[in-house]
Amino acid sequence: MKKVLITILIILLVALIGTGGYILNLLDRIPKASLKDPDTGEKIGEGLNKQEALGIGDDALSQKDTGVTNILLFGLDKRSETEKGHSDAILIASVDRKSKKIKLTSLMRDMYVKIPGREKNRINTAYFSGGPSLAIKTVNTNFNMNIEDYVTVDFKALEDIINLVGGVDINIKKNEVNAVSPYIDELNKINRGSRAKHLTSPGLQTLNGRQAVAYARVRSVGRDDFERTERQRRVMSELLRKGMNISVTKIPELVNTVLPNVETSLTKKEIIGLAATIVGFGNSDMEQFRIPTDDGFEDEKIGKMMVLVPDLEKNTDALHEFIYGSKSAYASENTGDRVK
């Protein structure tokens, strides 16, 4: 659920440096994913123009313009391999070569936006109804972005990754202790044969993979989904920190565990390039953001759904300022019928 892409890339980076050709061979195990039109199944980039198929506007800033590579990270809420799953977590991972920073932006799943070719709905339904290509197009068209690639993982993959780095250190609040328990119970039920213990007290503590995934799913305390996205980014940041300091002896096992459980449109060459870039950043902190901003949405009930209706212009400007350092050349024709 909590998307680990950046961590995966960083770990791969360290792995590449540490174990060379062995990792190159392992990279071939990543399930290869071709972006396809959600309605026709035609491959994007072959018969279909990539920019048009992914909803990239003519004025959307590109990597060449900015030095920033943006990748969408999806965490699916599916409970089994046959289940499709909604993108319970949606994050934009930004690798900024100019400032040598990694930036992570959460897109709240209950944002009510226009989904291209569909009716307006919560943003997390785009992945369920049209896969990663429709989800990418939805983000691009609503927020004037230029994103072409993605990484997807599910509950089990994240749990295994966290366990292999030795858990993550999280400062648990008093009101979160009991709130985590139902999610641990659900994961224990899904993954029979092993059980994680409940949390018993607040304070800084090391959570194992299942406890950390459960923690990152909590939305019943604090500011509901707003605070949940903070938990997601907190787990991500700590996982990144632990991954950067992982023992060389654990790298082969980590890579063997991670790669088969990741779906991505990135090629082996692109992964290696990103990994090398990120390692060159050193130990700079990950910057974090979330949209909609606190002043950029309205709570509404539409049909039977409670949703967040974003001010797209305000949120697009805020997103671009965070990622690129300047506001967007926002164009209404790129977002179509804007939701206000």
What is 282-326 written as a DSSP string? -SPPPEEEEES-TTSEEEEEETTEEEEEE-HHHHHHHHHHHHHSS
Classified as helix, coil or strand, 32 is strand
Instruction: Report the distance separating Cα 313 and Cα 300, nearest Å.
Output: 18
Q: 5-154+247-332, what's its fold?
A: Nucleotidyltransferase; domain 5 (3.30.420)
pLDDT confidence of residue 16: 41
State phi, psi for 60 to the nearest 5 degrees: -70, 135
pLDDT confidence of residue 232: 82
Residues of the chain with pLDDT under 70: 1-32, 46-48, 77-86, 155, 192, 244-246, 248-249, 251-252, 254-255, 257-261, 279, 282-285, 327-340
- CATH numeric code, 157-238: 3.40.630.190
Give residue limits of the domains in the chain.
Answer: 5-154+247-332, 157-238
Strand partners, 167: none
pLDDT confidence of residue 55: 93
pLDDT confidence of residue 2: 36
Instruction: Report the distance separating Cα 204 and Cα 256, nearest Å.
Output: 30
Is the full-model pTM beyond 0.75? Answer: yes
